[in-house]
Structure 1
Amino acid sequence: MAKNIAYRLFSVSDMFHSVKISTANKKTQGIRKEVYACKKRIRVISTIITLVIVFSLIVLVIYCLASYFSGFNSATNENDSVTSDNSFRAALIDALYSTHPNEEFTKSFNKTLSDAGFEVDIFQGTQVTVDFLKKLPKGYKLIILRMHSALGSNNQLYLFTAEPYSVGKYTQEQYFQLVKEAYATENSQPVFAVNWAFIKRCMTGKFNGTLVVMMGCDGTLDQLMIEEFLNQGAVGYVAWNGPVSLSHSDEAILYLTHLLYIEKMPLKEAVEKTNSQIGEDPNWGCILELYVPQ
């Protein structure tokens, strides 16, 4: 009888222990479910936040791009109303006037074109800024770019304005690599310089029917620059095929304009005669080259 009672007591104790384990297991499972549900909620919330951030960034990028290109269009279209037929209009853009003026060149150029019946616009020195290039009127038959130019590290040709460089100016153009800081010499102050992409984005439609003459160095060594002027309707692009001294360039371009507009010589023949009569640059050996639309 005693053994039987002991057995029963053991059984009750064992059952009580089993109940405790079962209850503990249920509590553990409940906690695990709560933790899992909490983690799931956190994952859902994190996903939603991530999607909101990504969507906001996409909207911001689209807005910036829209503002960027609309700004270009407004700058490009400004002053279009003052343009007229380009049959008798010429422009000399002389960014070098502040540091390397040549009054004889300016007077001779103005006289030659005026005698040929042109209305001549001359823009000199500090007038030649990035904004000026954006707002350059359409309608010129001839544009002479008396600007320092050089190839950058990416082998793109950059045209030097006369505008001092500032890191906080033209930030969009700098971000999209349309303009950059440039030095004409090691000791010179930095200025803004523009490349072919600037011509494409900021000077659209300004060269239709225009002969573009580049007076600086390496003008034919950037195919993208050449193609961009021609794609925008230029009837020809004349430039040096290497480094050139400014005095030689001044002499050659004056002779070229005389042949074209006083002697009425065809463009190709005028370039060839300029090279033969004025000759190659005595220091660098470069000559003028002509590119026309295909």
Structure 2
Amino acid sequence: MGQKIKRENSFDTLLDQALGKQGHGGSAERYTRKGTSRIWPRRHVRLTLSLTILLVVGLGSSVLAWQNGIWFPAAGPNGLRAVLIDGLSVSYPNPSFTNNVTKTLSSAEYSVDYIGPDKFTVDTLANLPSQGYGLVIIRAHTAHSAIITSEPYTDSKYVFEQLSGSVSPATIGTTVEYFAVAAQFISSESHGRFQNSIIVLMGCGDPGDRETFAGAFADKGAGYLIGFDNSVSAQFTDSETSALVSALAHGNTVQESVSLASGSDPVYHGQFGFVLASSVLQQRTVNLLSELSLFATFGILLIFGPLAVFLVPRLLSRR
């Protein structure tokens, strides 16, 4: 054992002498060859680490982009088809509003479907993106980023959705409970895709709700989300929505139509506004890039940090 240690010490001494004479003749040549054989593996290691980081970042960005709907460009307008979903008629029926909207859209060559309160269920919203409507008007109560349907609540239905929080019970001023559908349900549980459709929510809301709903419908291909920024009465929302629909039917843009229906509720001060789906996706792209840069920074520190701690002292000791 003592002889082995002695031989190793002798080898270290010879190596130190070789390093000290790297500027002289054959010893330098031998060291250069030895150094070259050591440098190439390190280059391969750096290349491998760099490719690994790029691969991880690329896969991470692909997954996040897919989850955020960035890779699902909206198609063009899907023809002149519209639907009026009227859940509010359970407590505030208004046949005059229904007839007025239907007549206005029909005069502009829209094909209009009407879904009354007896057919406004959770499944209605689940299948809505796949129905091919270019204009969707939802006359229903909204609260806390959820749309309240006319389907009576029972704990034995939509069990998985209830457990996930995307469906829950809600009341609309009476003791009767109805199913409420959260914005996340539209994103994750609905089927098909809108075709750059215009979505109009006639219920109460706030700017945060409007942004949340805009994100959910944008995930499914909608082009615009129009909704109120505060509470509104049934009479006011019917009046403003009639003006909005008339403006759209006469060829005005969404921005122009919202401006023409921009009155404020005299009691609750709610007012129409709109969110462009592309702005939602652009903001998500910015957030995604920010997250990826942070992720890449941590990845570099995680991989190269230990290497630096190991290599720097050795490099300094050779000076």
Scaled to the shorter chain, the TM-score interval is 0.5 to 0.7
What is the CA-CA distance between 1:192 and the residue it aligns to?
A: 0.3
For the pair 1:147 / 2:140, whether they are aligned, the reply is yes
User: Does residue 1:208 correspond to 2:195, yes or no?
Assistant: yes
The Cα shift of 1:133 comes to 2.1
Q: Kindly provide the CA deviation profile for residues 192-225 of structure 1, in whole angstroms up to 9, marking residues without a partner as x.
A: 0001111012224332211000000005422332
Q: Which of 230, 235, 241 lines up with 2:218 in the alignment?
A: 230
Distance 1:114 1:219, change over 3 A: farther
State yes or no: 1:267 paired with 2:260: no
Match of 2:90 among 88, 91, 98: 98
Question: Kindly, what percent of the aligned residue pairs are identical?
Answer: 32
Q: Report whether the alignment pairs 1:133 with 2:125.
A: yes
The reply on whether 1:252 has 2:210 as its aligned counterpart is no
TM-aligned CA distance change 1:241 to 1:194, over 3 Å: same
Offset, 1:188: 3.4
Runs of 4+ off more than 6 Å: none
Q: Check conservation: 2:198, 2:222, Cα contact below 8 A.
A: yes
Contact kept in structure 1, 2:187 and 2:219, CA below 8 Å: no
**Residue equivalent to 2:101:** 109
Which residue of structure 2 lines up, in the alignment, with residue 39 of structure 1? Answer: none
Task: State the Cα deviation string for residues 218-244 of structure 1 (Å, max 9, x = none).
Answer: 054223322111232211110000111
The letter of the residue matching 1:179 is: V
User: Structure 1: which amino acid aligns with 2:154?
Assistant: S
Does the 8 Å CA contact 1:220/1:226 hold for their aligned counterparts? no
| 8 Å contact from structure 2 (residues 127, 191) kept in 1 | no
**TM-score normalised by the chain length of structure 2:** 0.60
| 1:30-179 map, 5 Å | 86-136=78-128, 137-151=130-144, 157-179=145-167
Partner of 2:272: 288
Matched letter for residue 92 of structure 1: L
AA partner of residue 198 (structure 1): F
Q: Once the two structures are superposed, what CA deviation does each residue of 1:26-71 show, in whole Å capped at 9, x if it has no partner?
A: xxxxxxxxxxxxxxxxxxxxxxxxxxxxxxxxxxxxxxxxxxxxxx
**Under a length normalisation based on structure 1, what TM-score does the superposition of the two structures give?**
0.65
Secondary structure at 1:86's aligned position in 2? coil
Query: In 2, Cα distance between the equivalents of 1:100 and 1:147?
Result: 10
Q: Would the aligned equivalents of 2:140 and 2:203 in 1 still touch at CA under 8 Å?
A: yes
Counterpart residue identity of residue 258, structure 1: S
Deviation track 1:157-216 (CA, whole Å, cap 9, x = no partner) reads 11000011101111111011110010112x331100001111012224332211000000
State yes or no: 1:199 paired with 2:199: no
- Aligned pair count reads 200
Take 2:122 and 2:223, find their aligned partners in 1: how far apart are those partners? Answer: 24
CA offsets, 1:95-117, max 9 Å, x none? 11222110000000100010000
Match of 2:227 in 1: 239
Equivalent in the alignment of 2:175: 188
Q: Point out the more displaced range, 187-196 or 198-207.
A: 198-207
SS in 2 for 1:283: coil
What residue in structure 1 maps to residue 28 of structure 2?
none
Once residues 240 and 215 of structure 1 are traced to their aligned partners in structure 2, the CA distance between those partners, rounded to angstroms, is 7
Distance 2:94 2:220 in 1: 30
1:287 and 1:135 mapped to 2: Cα distance? 29
Gaps of 5+ in 2: 1-76, 280-319
More helix by percentage:
2
Measured against aligned partners, the alpha-carbon deviations of 1:1-35 in whole angstroms (never above 9, x if no partner) come to xxxxxxxxxxxxxxxxxxxxxxxxxxxxxxxxxxx
